[in-house]
Amino acid sequence: MSHSTTGAAAAFRRRYGASPLHLLLTLACFALALYAGIRLLAGDTVGVAIWFVGAALLHDLVLLPAYSLTDRATQLLFRGRTATPGSVPRPSVNHVRVPAFVSGVLFLVWWPLILRQGGHYTAYTALSADGFLARWLLITAALFIASAIVWLVRTWLRLRPERKRVRAQGQARRTAK
């Protein structure tokens, strides 16, 4: 690679703030979104617009306050009693956030079938709509169990050097007696 190419790439990175590949991928994403929007709006433009506005309102007026309050309560729970009002929550709160987020996304995608509102699902797919609630609950439980296991292992590994130090101090005291 020549020096002028490196200089041009560095100048581009300074001006744009990222690599040319980032710009290319961003433009490709916008092109794909534009294509999907054109295809989507070609059918029922008013219905899609109503759905989009309704989804935005549902998110902003119902879901955002609900998950913000839930997250705030979880942060308070994981701060403990010794935390000051402005303290940062412990990273362990993420072990609740991540499985809850994944479970919530799964619910949002599959809620008609989870709540048995699938309508003509069986007629369209020739598959049974039964069992979605049980599967979603099992997946949610598995996500929280896996997250708890990761949290326990991380806590154990973090406390391991401290336990070794305490043991060494105890052995030093015993040998000094």
- Encode 40-65: b = buried (16+ Cβ within 10 Å), e = exposed: eeeeeeeeeeeeeeeeeeeeeeeeee
Q: Are 113 and 121 in contact (CB under 8 A)?
A: yes
In this predicted model, what pLDDT tens digit does every residue of 24-82 receive, in sequence order?
Answer: 999 999 999 999 888 888 878 888 888 889 989 998 999 899 989 988 888 888 776 55
Nearest to 91 by CA among 103, 109, 79: 79
Q: How many other C-beta atoms lie within 10 A of the C-beta of residue 118?
A: 19
Name the pTM for this structure.
0.59
In this predicted model, what pLDDT tens digit does every residue of 116-166 receive, in sequence order?
Answer: 887 777 777 777 778 899 999 999 999 999 999 999 999 888 887 777 777
- Torsion angles phi and psi, residue 87, rounded to 5: -75, 155
